[in-house]
Amino acid sequence: MTKRSDCAALGLVLLGAAVPAGAQQQVLDVATLARIGTVDERFQSYNVEMLEVTGGRFWKPYGSTIDAAAPSSDTPTGMNPNLYEYRPPIDLADPRLRKLAAALAPAYVRVSGTWANSTYLADSAEPPAAAPAGFAGVLSRQQWKGVVDFARAVDARLVVSFATSAGTRDAAGVWTPAQARPFLAYTKELGGEIAAAEFMNEPNLASIGGAPKGYDAATYGRDFKVFRAFAREAAPSMRILGPGSVAETMSPNGIRPTTIVMLQTPDLLAATGSGVLDVFSYHHYGTVSKRCGGSMTADESLSEDWLGRTDATHAFYKPLRDQFEPGKPIWLTETADAACGGNPWAASFVDTFRYLDQLGRLAKQGVQVVAHNTLAASDYGMVDGHTLSPRPNYWGAVLWRKLMGATVLESGVPLRAGLHAYAHCLRGTRGGVALLLINNDKTAAQTVTLKAPAEKYTLSSSRPETAQVWLNGTELTWDGKADLPRLQGMPTKAGDVMLAPATITFLAVPQAGNGVCR
């Protein structure tokens, strides 16, 4: 970490500074904050795309030359092949990547994505040179061993989806476990375990995921019943997630391509029947990225409309959970700023507002797990996939993991522009409280008043649309040659805390004396 020279800007976020005219103030009595629920200990999780593991054509970075390209076997059906470029398999044994992932533990790592629907697990140590008929990609046994070893090394439990393309089907087109059975068996042989699985990645977009032509909700329901019977017999401890739908609440300026057939989640659930899932899962992207025709701009990244799209999607899926799977946990198994690899600013500080605000909102609403897409691939990766340099979202994730425990509290602060406040029990401290305070106003400061001393962790940037980020005025960087920097809070006395414009502040209050945090 390096010190910034702009001491004047640092002074804006110090505790005890004079409250500027027009700033709004809120008293937080952390001792009396009520418990509203709990989240999974692995609440904050992440995705590693199956295509990262196998290597293949993934989202082309912004700025790359768009060359004419013929469709290839690993381009999703109906998608423009010019949107993709080849990337080699990810090195999950890289000590630097493992160190970064371990700092987020415990977590779930979901290995799935559109390409997983048509990936073939090699049946021997020597993988075939090309994918067999009915598949688009090959997962070698050594590559899957790398995933299992990675998960074990970084304390991440595995979540997957299974291949469902033509190569998995019998002569009548019905899905069979011919690929799923050896996949589970090989995982067990390696000493690994699949904690949870979705049958198919994003079944409401089956038409781009390798499903047979004309695939509909009734066909999905038929196949799911075969899958469920197999899963209960072959892996009784594996939790069945579903349906894992996406894109049904996207804004009109970033909605699904008109050439892609979208099945409706109520129809999928009706076809599978009620009470058949262990966990209700869904995916959320507020829009599609610019590479897929989205029109959102970076200026909107702190807006109430943008941040509120998390709630809109949850409000769409929760009633479906209540109708078809009442009382079952809800997981958000794939999310980022924008589908199609993320927007150009997904790797910048402005997206950390969405990332952390989303965790705060969903924890309050009882969502048990949120898996960011991805750990280290494309623009929306928490880590740069080429340099393995942490991006702002990664530092936000480490702070969440360090401070925000599994017990969720009611902050008592109504959500409003300029102050989004979330409260949890402080991780590892009896009676302690952790607060996440987001000032998404670009011009006005806010203040809160605490009745106990705290440790303050403020994330800020003088260039929010870049990867530059400071913690309490010190730039966060890591060269990979030593341990990750310890993220230290700034000791503060009880009293007023000023939140500068466009900043994110965690407050750890170990002496809160909150009776439910024990």
Report the interhelical angle of 217-234 vs 265-272 (nearest 10°). 50
Whole-number Å distance between alpha carbons of 14 and 472: 8
Residue 176 structure tokens: 């069979």
301 lies in a domain? yes
pLDDT of the residue at 6? 39
pLDDT band at 259 (very low <50, low <70, confident <90, very high): low
Neighbours of 130 (CB within 10 A): 11
Residue 142 structure tokens: 């050594």
Quick one: 400 and 487 in the same domain? no
pLDDT, one tens digit per residue, over 391-429 is 999 999 999 999 999 999 999 999 898 999 999 999 999
Quick one: 171 and 23 in the same domain? no
> Residue 111's beta-bridge partner residues?
160
Quick one: 339 and 207 in the same domain? yes
19 lies in a domain? yes
Please tell me whether residue 357 adopts helix, strand or coil conformation.
helix
Overall average pLDDT of the 297-310 stretch: 95
Given 3-state DSSP classes, what are the helix, strand and coil percentages for the chain, each rounded to the nearest 5? 30, 25, 45
Q: Over the chain, what is the mean pLDDT?
A: 91
The answer to whether 445 and 499 are in contact (CB under 8 A) is: yes
pLDDT band at 261 (very low <50, low <70, confident <90, very high): confident
Report the interhelical angle of 180-189 vs 217-234 (nearest 10°). 30
Residue 84 CA, distance from chain mean position: 21
Quick one: 76 and 140 in the same domain? yes
Non-local (6+) Cβ contacts of 28 within 8 A are 411, 412, 413, 421, 435, 448, 449, 450, 451
518 lies in a domain? no
Torsions phi, psi for 2 (to 5 deg): -125, 145
Quick one: 302 and 432 in the same domain? no
Quick one: 238 and 355 in the same domain? yes
pLDDT of the residue at 76? 61
Going 436 to 406 to 104 to 492, the CA torsion angle's sign is positive
Whole-number Å distance between alpha carbons of 239 and 394: 28
Torsions phi, psi for 56 (to 5 deg): 155, -170
pLDDT of the residue at 9? 38
pLDDT of the residue at 482? 87
Q: Which amino acid is at 212?
A: P
pLDDT of the residue at 94? 97
Q: How many domains in the chain?
A: 2
pLDDT, one tens digit per residue, over 247-257 is 998 754 444 44
pLDDT, one tens digit per residue, over 25-44 is 688 999 999 999 999 999 99
pLDDT of the residue at 257? 47
From 368, 388, 405, give the residue that closes a domain.
405
pLDDT band at 52 (very low <50, low <70, confident <90, very high): very high
Quick one: 152 and 106 in the same domain? yes
Quick one: 265 and 126 in the same domain? yes
For the chain, give me the number of helices (H) and strands (E)? 10, 25
| Domain extent at residue 468 | 2-34+410-509
Whole-number Å distance between alpha carbons of 303 and 345: 15
In this prediction the pTM is: 0.92
pLDDT band at 127 (very low <50, low <70, confident <90, very high): very high
Whole-number Å distance between alpha carbons of 424 and 407: 6
**Position 79 pLDDT exceeds 70:** no
pLDDT band at 75 (very low <50, low <70, confident <90, very high): low
514 lies in a domain? no
Quick one: 482 and 395 in the same domain? no
The answer to whether 209 and 202 are in contact (CB under 8 A) is: yes
Quick one: 484 and 499 in the same domain? yes
How buried is residue 335: exposed, middle or buried, by Cβ count under 10 Å (0-12/13-18/19+)?
buried
Determine what percent of the chain is predicted with pLDDT higher than 90: 82
516 lies in a domain? no
Quick one: 470 and 323 in the same domain? no
Closest CA to 39 of 130, 106, 121: 106
Q: ∠ CA 343-346-446 to the nearest 5 degrees? A: 125
From 388, 405, 422, give the residue that closes a domain.
405
283 lies in a domain? yes
Determine what percent of the chain is predicted with pLDDT higher than 70: 90
Which CATH number does the domain housing residue 444 bear? Answer: 2.60.40.1180
Residue 500 structure tokens: 């500068």
pLDDT, one tens digit per residue, over 195-226 is 999 999 999 999 888 899 999 999 999 999 99
Q: First and final CA of the chain: distance in angstroms?
A: 34
Neighbours of 8 (CB within 10 A): 7
pLDDT band at 24 (very low <50, low <70, confident <90, very high): low
From 375, 405, 435, give the residue that closes a domain.
405
- Judge if the upstream peptide bond of residue 344 is cis by omega within 30 degrees of 0: no
**Position 8 pLDDT exceeds 50:** no
Overall average pLDDT of the 102-122 stretch: 97
Which residue in the block uniquely carries the two structure tokens 């690899």?
341
Which CATH number does the domain housing residue 137 bear? Answer: 3.20.20.80
157 lies in a domain? yes
The answer to whether 119 and 163 are in contact (CB under 8 A) is: yes
Quick one: 212 and 146 in the same domain? yes
207 lies in a domain? yes
> Residue 283's beta-bridge partner residues?
334
